[in-house]
Amino acid sequence: MTIDVCALGDIPEGGCLAVTVEQTPVALVRTEGEVFAIFDRCSHADVALSEGDVTGCEIECWLHGSSFDLRTGEPLSLPATAAVPVYPVTVTGEGESARVAITLAPTP
Ligand code: FES
Answer whether residue 108 is part of any domain. no
Please state the domain count of the chain.
Answer: 1
Residue 34, domain extent: 2-103
- Kindly state if the Cβ of 48 falls inside 6 Å of ligand 1: no
- Under the banding of pLDDT at 50, 70 and 90, the label for residue 106 is low
Mean pLDDT score of the chain? 95
Are 92 and 99 contacting, i.e. CB atoms less than 8 angstroms apart?
yes
**Tens digit of each residue's pLDDT (9 = 90 or more) over 44-92:** 999 999 999 999 999 999 999 999 999 999 999 999 999 999 999 999 9
- Kindly state if the Cβ of 79 falls inside 6 Å of ligand 1: yes
The CATH number linked to 16 is 2.102.10.10
- Kindly state if the Cβ of 42 falls inside 6 Å of ligand 1: yes
CA-42 nearest atom, ligand 1: 2
pTM for this prediction: 0.95
Q: Which of 58, 62, 20 is nearest to 40 (CA)?
A: 20
Cα dihedral 29, 5, 98, 70, rounded to 10, equals 20
- Kindly state if the Cβ of 59 falls inside 6 Å of ligand 1: no
